Structure 1
Amino acid sequence: MRTSGERLVGRDAELALTAGEVDRLGEGRAATLTIEGEAGVGKTRLAQSMVHRARSRGMTVFCGRAHPFERTRPFGVVADALDLSVRSSDSRGAAIGALLSRHDADASGSVGDIQYRVVEEIVDLVETACAERPVLLVAEDIHWADTASLLTVLSIVRQLPLAPLLAVVTTRPSPLPGDVVRLLDDLADEGGRTLRLQPLAPDQVAALAAHELGAPPGPGLAAMLDKAGGNPLWVNALLRSLADEGVLRDASGVVDVTSPELPGSLSELVARRLRDLSGPTLDLLQVTAVLGDAVSVRDVAAVARRTPADVAGQLTEAFDARLLDEVDERVVFRHQLVHDAIYQRVPAPARRLLHREAAVALMAAGADRLAVADHLVLGAERGDEQVVGWLRDAAREASGQAPAVTLELLRRAEALLPGGHRDADLVSAEVVQALLRAGHVAEASARAEAVLTRRHATEVDSPLRVALVGALALQNRADEVTAVVEASLAAPDRLRPADQALVLSQQSWALTYTGDPRAGESAAARALAIAEQVSDTAMSVWALTALLVAEGRQGRFDEALSHARRAATLAAGSPDTRSLPLQPKFFLGLALFDCDLVGEARTAFRAALDDESGSAWWLSDTLMADAQASFAIGEWDDAVPGLIAGGQAAQEKGNPLLTTQSLAYRTVIATARGDLRSARKLADGFTASLEGEQLSYNAGVLTFAAAGLTAAEGDLQGAFDLLLRCWRFDQARESRFYHRCLAPDLVRLALALGHRDVAVEVADSVAAGVALAPEVATVAGLALRCRGLVDGEVEALVEAAALTRRTPLLVEHAGACEDAASLLARDGRRDEAATLLNEALDRYEQAGADAWAGRVRAGLRSVGAHPGARGPRRRPAAGWESLTDTERAVALLVADGLTNGAVARRMYISPHTVNTHLRHVFAKLGVSNRVELATVVHHSIE
């Protein structure tokens, strides 16, 4: 009987498809392919054919595989594929490996920081490889992959859509873990293809048999092979078994069987082979199966307490029986189904014992707990206190790398403890913390409450109360937060002063976010007093940050900025990292922006991005804030890519507020440019949040966008209703933060629709806000603008235009000019009206707001001016001159060989934003890869 060699019989169509993907990769085209099929159907062989084809064409290949019993090993698949270890010959791989070997939990409690840093480093490493030659990245058997590896694969695909990269993942069909299902859905959403390998048809099975045997199968053999269900592995295994047992015969040009006996399953077939093995070899083979489907001889030797040479010699029989193979210095079962068959033959109690012994032996040999944690989980029985301790240690090691792994390990540790165990409450408290870190805040609060409401260990009371307040605050359950905080503070010995300040700060956030900023301010002030009394700098930063947010919601922007500056100064001068999760520089940027100091705000945002000691959880917020600053000053060509990228990052981090804000600002831009169809599609992503009984924390900007679009579609009453509802909602909660968004359009629409009382109410309210922020030009300008519209006072409107002219803000400045011009024209002061309209027109045209510019040009014509000759200031649609300044900067840096990550760091934007800019650059320049881009760039700048 001969072997099939490199030929994959019965898969001609699939081979053509995968070969085409590799060939397109050679042309510099990015793609993603999922190969799905049952075990033994040929996924690995098909992936290997792609690997061979890519290598034969000089491409870089990264290939990794997930293995059973390794879901608790963070970044396991990608670490294997990219050789990420401290012993790596590649300096960058070694540096990332050093990060992965760090098991010290972050003292600041900033969740997932190491995980996201590692992901970004890996993306940059892959992109660097893509800059040298096309890259094929293969991740096999992702149904066993750890969560960090799944996140990394998705990040690589999302952040490198324009790189010469072909990402291939293989998986079995459902049932699959939820995180794997999400990855496959996300890859499909990114444009990835799925190839589902079906069982071979009868004629293909016959062709496979003919290829293996050198002659077609006879009727008896064909009937046997039909029972393999079209699974190529099972067909080959049957043929080899029948050949080994001597029951095949040549007859009249076909090969048939001399006996109708047939193993009922692959497991039975494997069992028949095992009968021929000696006892010591069988024992060693079972140990190997318990360790996994691909293991080192040294690991087998450590567990079996034999020398590596003895192990290698004893397993010779298993190699001869074609049960094992050797790949990359590992003992590998010929197929996963062979491994499963041998593993399942070991009685369950023996398997459990072997898993435990394996974990102990491997740790004694130097393996860390994370590498063997799956064996601990599979090998322990209830009451095994030693394993509980090991699992808790492993969970601590994983806390900075993979929060989901930490949670899984602690859940298992908790399940192993007998009822009433002395450590039960300690482990429960650790589970609550892990739930918070993994983002399961509702379950975290429920678990914390369950422990606190019964008798519990004294030492867990304080950490559980702090965790409960944090979890409730994240869910905006302000009333419950207040109840827990007040109950905790009523017993002074329950919480240390630092914890008192922390829970009060958390209470402040919850109150402010649920619409009671005055109460939020009170809680933050109490927190600050306690922190200052004990000279706790970190908790002072927490309290000041909560305080400035509460003050800003009330419209006291000057005071908020003062506290933001103090918080940033304290954090910068203190080595105490407990304040870092808040990223004070980011909040300073927000406060500066609220005071019209946009340039200083962007400097603060860039400082936050530069601050590697800060929390990665604020990265998407910082990038989004900077994109919103670009929108505010009219740099919309830069704002749109930033908003898109910020929205993508927010989705990855599970932040719905930022996601809807991205959509809202893009809706405003599309509306202003006259693309109402796109605007409506974008708005559909957030308008449902404006229909419930409660409005979200960011409802002001969402309402501004939705109302502007509704008015542009001709429904003035609908726009008015949206604005009025949000206005009244904020008024009831004494929130002035979104006055500058809501008030001008609401006053204008109220007057147009005959609701003068509403216009007066709004004008009076914004006038009162000036005393709260007297130094902020747009606040004073807003009051003058609304009062001028209500009372018809043209000079108030002219002064409002003059005030907003001092700021770089587009909507406020141009809108004030339009309002003033309308009253100037009414009074016959046409030249003055034309001057202000031209001022607004300049701003709109620079931003590309064609629809708004068209409205202004109509106003100019009505006062006798003639703007038409100038026309909109458009760039060419294609070519170097069509690029924006930012697109040119990105193109130049990429042409110089910088990766997306390096460009992002140089320009203080995100890799997502770089990708969006590159898409535009590629389209405008008519190129499809970076090599072509570099050629065009160099010709253009000569």
Structure 2
Amino acid sequence: MTLFGREPQVRSLESAAAEAAAGRGSATLVEGEAGIGKSALLDVVAAHCDRLGMRVLRATGEQLEQDLPFAVAGACLGVLTTGGQANQARVAALLRGEGADRQPGAAGHDFVVTEAMLDLVDDWCAAGPVAVLVDDVQWADAQSIVVLHRLCRGIAQYPLLVVLAAAPEPCGEAMGALVRSMTAKGAHRMNLPPLDPRAVAELVEATVGAPTGPQLANLVAAAQGHPLYLSELVAGLARDGALRISQGRAETDHETPAAESLQAMIMSRLGPLPSQTQTVLQHAAVLGANVDLPMLAAVLETPVLELAEAFTAAAGAGLLVETEAGLQFRHDLIRQGLARQTPSSVRGVLHQRAAQALMDRGADVERIAEHLAQLDHTEHGQWLMTAAPQLTVRAPDLAVTLLRAAAAAAPDDRAATSLNLALIRALLWAGQTDDAEQVLHDQLAAFQSPATRTQLLELRMNGYFRQGRLQQAAAAGEDAARLAPAHPGRLYGFAAVCRLLIGEFDTADRLAGDALRTGLATGDAVAQAYGHNTLAVLRFSQSRVLEALDLNTDAMTALDNGDATMVVDPLVVRAMCLFALDRPAELDLVLDAAIRRNRDTGGVYLTSAQLLRANVLFLRGRWDDALAEIRAALDNPDPLHQAPALRGLAALVAMHRGQARTLDPELDELATARVLEAPFTAPLRWAQALAEENEAGPGAALDILFPIWAQPPTFSPRCIGYRLCADLARLAYAAGDTGRLRVLADTTADLLSRQAIGSVEGTAAFCAGLLHEEPAQLLAAAAWFAQAGWPMHEGYAREHATVLLAAAGCLQPARDELAAAVALYTGLEASRDIDRARSRARQAGIRQGVRGPRGRPKHGWAALSDTEHKVALAVAEGRSNPDIAAQMFLSPRTVQSHVSSILAKLGLRSRVEIAVSASTVEDRAAAAG
């Protein structure tokens, strides 16, 4: 296929395709008005990618499908029907609503589907280069736009080409955000201008078989370089017999176009067709861009063979084209023009009949709903009630529209109640909580049976919970439980969790006990799990960790027999207990299971699990791994608002590494005293304290940090909050604040009596050693921290032992401890701590010498952390991110974050270059061996 006048654009996209095939991907947004040639350009790119051996994925956005989640992404990936590869079948099942009953709403389910789609593309990219080409993306649904946005993020590291074609002005907030995001990340924006006169002449000559004469040249100039207008103009002249070849040139006697507008020109193709064929085409255009012959035959009550003859003629007239998906209108302008010629009353009848035909075929509920939504009256209420659960998941906005209309026109109170219950569920699923609350209020105000009232209260509590209105959610749950429903224990358990999350521990304890007693009395395993697990969290908040672990074990045992998802995840609670008990091997396995389950089910505790893992990695000194986990977690939905903790932990690493202050204005505001009691801000305050130490001294830093230990935040009790005590003791010692240092020594000693593990032993010894200035205690602390695998804390202990040993005249031991401390800090790349340790040692009369330990290089293979090195070798083997993630107990997004860091450290641009570099390194090592 030849595109005239588009040589620069074709060359640019073919070059991008070649780079993608070689391993370095890119994204391009092609913009231009309708008919300017975007689709033709995508055809050329698709053919070129196919010749390069790339997997080509194509889709086109349709205005009629904007309310269908993942319609464009699903079509592009070929997952709208069952079958295909196992990973495609999983995505198809998710799109049908599999597992949706475990979701609190559309956002969670959308996240699961998005992640599954990204994993699918990732697997394909590991097998070979991939091209994703989407036309008319301005009509894409919001969920598909999110998938495209995520595909374009970090695209350079993949053998992936993404080309999106859109109208010049993006439609809708989601599309506008995609354009801004793509532009910010370096995507190329390609605007298709009108063809220049040379290209126009070449196109006409190729079409008519001869150069244009003067009169024809004047006439085609009216097209102003618009390819579709131009081709329709020439085709119209040919149909009218108004073209002739004279003296080797194509000429015409017409002085003006036969039709004034492009739309009229396109519609002129209908002229030679029989009126019956024209009517069939008009009716088909009303029902969508794709021609479904069996459905249309049922709608028009016409034999399929008769319709086939009509469509064959239409294809010959250039109105339809044959694609892999079947017959389609050649251009949406054609479909729009034909559809407008059908009266609105007839359009309604067509949609009504189409819906019935699809029902008879057992078609997907969303396809049926698309047609029902076009009607101005309500029918098929019984079908809607049956289809409502699946339709709510597959197309929530359509479900809301249809259920609202059906409820308003219900024939009796019983039907109205059932439809309103379904409407409330659809509104909540779609995130329209204010509208759901209004319908709920109206229904509760009406007389309802106890069973219906219970359902309404349960819906209300779920709605409140999603909005974060936990006080009201708890009250609704308690009200529902008092109505003696089938499962009151679960409602008490739900209310207990809400009370727990808002810090009403006494009430939460009482309600958890009610849930447990009721669950045991009725045999309700889910209620038992609620009770046990909520009590576990309460005991954990009291630093009664072993009791919490036993209760959590009971919760997990009960849940083995349950089938409901709770609003507290026992796996995450178990991980918290294991974290507090220094049981790393078990902790890693439980965290991996928690992350996988929450990622696969859209659980609200995915970020919680990743935040906990990042904290563990930080304490173990695997700071690059912690940062990768943080970057991945910041991409997650964040219903519990834990982003401050993630950013605070990243800021801690930056502060220790001597980087510029990373607390941006948003974080500075969060770190103010008025939000000290807000959940998940302790790491942020910790980072703020380190920044203040540099600017105002240790006393000011201590004032910021000490309240977190004196009055621990709800979700950072002392059983895990003691990890900041080394910094607190260090700051108190430097500030000469003996009073607070004594408090630290006493409280950590008390914690040790209840939590006798290595890291607490080390913390208590460190605080006591500084209080009494005993180097032996500090060295004992260092040994405990070394056993626990906490290198930063061990460095603190050895750094302070250096100063005290020097003061006691033990100069060589002091030098040895300084060297050990600096070596530990060097392994962490903690330049701030290295400078402080050496400065304090110099003041004590100890100098390390010029050499000292060498830090890890900033670039090259030696710069990679152990995890990064393993990921790089796996990438070099051609393994996909999901495959690497499964092997290394990471999430695929964390692996992606590691790959980005690897590319930066190696100075490379793609995964293919990582493979080449790894091979070179291995060859050098073999030669050296």
Alignment TM-score > 0.5, same fold = yes
Give, in angstroms, the shift of residue 582 of structure 1.
4.4
Contact 1:508–1:524 (Cα < 8 Å) also in 2: no
CA distance in 2, matches of 1:793, 1:888: 41
Query: Is 1:303 matched up with 2:280?
Result: no
Q: Report if the CA contact (8 A) 2:130-2:161 is conserved.
A: yes
Please tell me whether residue 501 in structure 1 is matched to residue 492 in structure 2.
yes
- Aligned residue number for residue 592 of structure 1: 578
Matched, 1:537 2:499: no
TM-superposed deviation, 1:220: 8.9
Describe the superposition over 1:404-457 as per-residue Cα deviations: whole angstroms up to 9, x where unpaired.
x23442343213432676344444433443454455566655654564455556
Farther-moved stretch of structure 1 (235-244 vs 931-940):
931-940
Query: Does the aligned pair in 2 maintain the 1:247–1:257 contact within 8 Å?
Result: yes
| Residues 4-15 of structure 1 mapped to structure 2, 5 A cutoff | 6-15=1-10
CA–CA distance in structure 1, aligned partners of residues 37 and 434 of structure 2:
43
Matched, 1:412 2:402: yes
Q: Pick one of 619, 625, 635 that aligns with 1:632.
A: 619
Among 435, 441, 454, the alignment partner of 1:462 is 454
Equivalent residue, structure 2, for 1:3: none
2:249 is the counterpart of 1:244: no
Amino acid at match of 1:912: R
Residues 921 and 23 (structure 1), Cα distance of their counterparts in 2 relative to 1, 3 Å cut:
same
1:699/1:726 contact within 8 Å kept: no
Alpha-carbon offset, residue 764 of structure 1: 6.5
Correspondence list, 1:739-750, <5 A: 739-740=721-722, 743-746=725-728, 749=731
2:840 paired residue number = 859
> What residue is the counterpart of 2:788 in the other structure?
807
Distance in 1 separating the partners of 2:279 and 2:564:
53
Q: Which blocks of at least 5 consecutive residues in structure 1 are unaligned?
A: 1-5
How far the C-alpha of 1:330 sits from its partner, in A, is: 1.7
| 3-state secondary structure, aligned to 1:709 | helix
| Worse-superposed segment, 151-160 or 757-766 | 757-766
Pairing of 1:537-616 with structure 2 (within 5 A): 537-571=525-559, 574-579=560-565, 582-609=568-595, 615-616=601-602
- Give, in angstroms, the shift of residue 625 of structure 1: 2.8
Q: How far is the alpha carbon of 1:738 from its aligned partner? A: 6.8
Deviation for aligned residue 1:22: 1.8
CA separation of 1:904 and 1:581: change in aligned 2, threshold 3 A: farther
Cα 1:160–1:110, aligned 2, differ >3 Å: closer, same or farther? farther
Name 1:510's counterpart in structure 2. 501
Q: CA deviation at 1:326?
A: 1.9
Q: Provide the rounded CA distance (Å) in 1 between the counterparts of 2:431 and 2:723.
A: 32
- Tell me the CA shift for residue 731 of structure 1: 6.9
| Partner AA of 1:709 in structure 2 | A
Output the TM-score relative to the length of structure 1. 0.86
Structure 2 residue matching 1:169: 3-state secondary structure:
strand
- For 1:754-773, what aligned pairs fall within 5 Å after superposition? 773=754
Aligned to 2:390: 397
Superposed displacement of residue 519, structure 1: 4.7
Structure 1 residues 172 and 249, CA gap change in structure 2 (3 angstroms): same
Q: 1:715 and 1:440 mapped to 2: Cα distance?
A: 50
Unaligned runs of 5+ in 2: none
TM-score normalised per structure 2: 0.87
Conserved in 2, the CA contact under 8 Å of 1:724 and 1:746? yes
Q: 1:869, CA displacement in angstroms?
A: 5.7
1:192, CA displacement in angstroms?
2.4
> Cα distance, 1:39 vs. partner?
1.8
Q: 1:317 to 1:488 in 2, by over 3 A?
A: closer
Shift in CA distance, 377/306, structure 1 to aligned 2, threshold 3 Å: same
Deviation, 1:138, is 1.1
Q: Mean alpha-carbon deviation: is it higher for 15-24 or for 256-265?
A: 256-265
Output the CA distance in 2 between the equivalents of 1:815 and 1:51.
60
Post-superposition shift, 1:267?
Answer: 3.3
Distance 1:129 1:745 in 2: 47
Give the whole-Å Cα distance in 2 for the aligned partners of 1:929 and 1:256: 55
Counterpart code for 1:569: T
Q: Aligned-pair distance for 1:278?
A: 2.5
CA distance in 1, matches of 2:716, 2:602: 32
Report the CA distance between 1:829 and its aligned residue. Answer: 6.0
Offset, 1:904: 0.7
Letter matched to residue 614 of structure 2: A
Query: What whole-Å deviation, never above 9, does each CA across 1:455-494 have from its counterpart, x for those lacking one?
Result: 55654432332333344344443443444345445x4436
Of the three residues 668, 687, 703, the one matched with 2:685 is: 703
Decide whether aligned partners of structure 1 residues 885 and 374 sit closer, same or farther in structure 2, where only a CA change above 3 A counts. same
Alignment partner of 1:914 is 2:895: yes
Contact 1:532 1:540 in 2 (8 A): yes
Deviates more, 1:479-488 or 1:899-908: 479-488
Q: Residues 412 and 230 of structure 1: is their aligned pair in 2 closer, same or farther, counting only changes over 3 Å?
A: farther
Where 1:578 maps in the other structure, the secondary structure is: coil
Q: Is the 8 A contact 1:517 1:733 kept in 2?
A: no
In the alignment, is residue 129 of structure 1 matched against residue 140 of structure 2? no
After superposition, give the CA deviation of every residue in 1:126-168 in whole Å (9 maximum; x if it has no partner). 3343344322121222233344433433444447642211012
- Between stretches 616-625 and 597-606, larger displacement belongs to 616-625
What is the alpha-carbon distance in structure 1 between the residues aligned to residue 600 and residue 256 of structure 2? 71
Q: How many angstroms apart in 2 are the aligned matches of 1:656 and 1:731?
A: 15
- Aligned partner of 1:293 among 278, 282, 289: 289
Give the 5 Å matches for 1:68-467.
68-71=63-66, 73-84=68-79, 90-92=84-86, 95-96=89-90, 99=93, 102-104=96-98, 106-109=100-103, 118-158=113-153, 161-174=156-169, 176-200=171-195, 208-209=203-204, 212=207, 214-216=210-212, 218=214, 222=218, 226=222, 231-246=226-241, 255=251, 258-260=254-256, 263-328=259-324, 330-378=326-374, 380-384=375-379, 386=380, 388-397=381-390, 402=394, 405-418=395-408, 422=413, 423-438=415-430, 448-449=440-441, 451-452=443-444, 455=447, 458-467=450-459
**CA distance in structure 2 between the aligned counterparts of 1:805 and 1:453, rounded to whole angstroms:** 64
Report the more deviating stretch, 330-339 or 523-532: 523-532
Give the AA of the match of 2:264. E
The separation in 2 between residues aligned to 1:424 and 1:820, in whole angstroms, is 77
Q: Which deviations, in whole Å up to 9, do the C-alpha atoms of 1:617-645 show, x marking residues without a partner?
A: 24454344323321111122322222222
Q: Deviations over 1:799-850 (max 9, x none)?
A: 6556545422344443344456555655666666556555543432332223
Change (3 A) 1:29 1:255: same
Which deviates more, 909-918 or 863-872? 863-872
Equivalent-residue separation in structure 1 for 2:795 and 2:528 (angstroms): 40
Distance 2:265 2:733 in 1: 85
Q: CA deviation at 1:175?
A: 5.2
Q: CA deviation at 1:924?
A: 4.9
- Tell me the distance in 1 between the aligned counterparts of 2:697 and 2:401: 54
Give 3-state SS (helix, strand or coil) of 2:564's partner.
helix
CA distance in 2, matches of 1:842, 1:126: 43
Give the conservation status (yes or no) of the 8 Å contact 1:469–1:507. no
Distance in structure 2 (CA, Å) of the matches to 1:840 and 1:562: 39
Answer yes or no: is 1:901 the counterpart of 2:901. Answer: no
The 3 A distance-change label for structure 1 pair 46 and 116 is same
- Distance, in Å, in 1 between the alignment partners of 2:444 and 2:793 is 51
Comparing 666-675 and 132-141, the one that deviates more: 132-141
Partners in 2 of 1:736 and 1:917 — Cα distance?
32
For 1:800 and 1:736, the matched residues in 2 are separated by 19
Contact between 2:525 and 2:561, CA under 8 Å: does it hold in 1? no
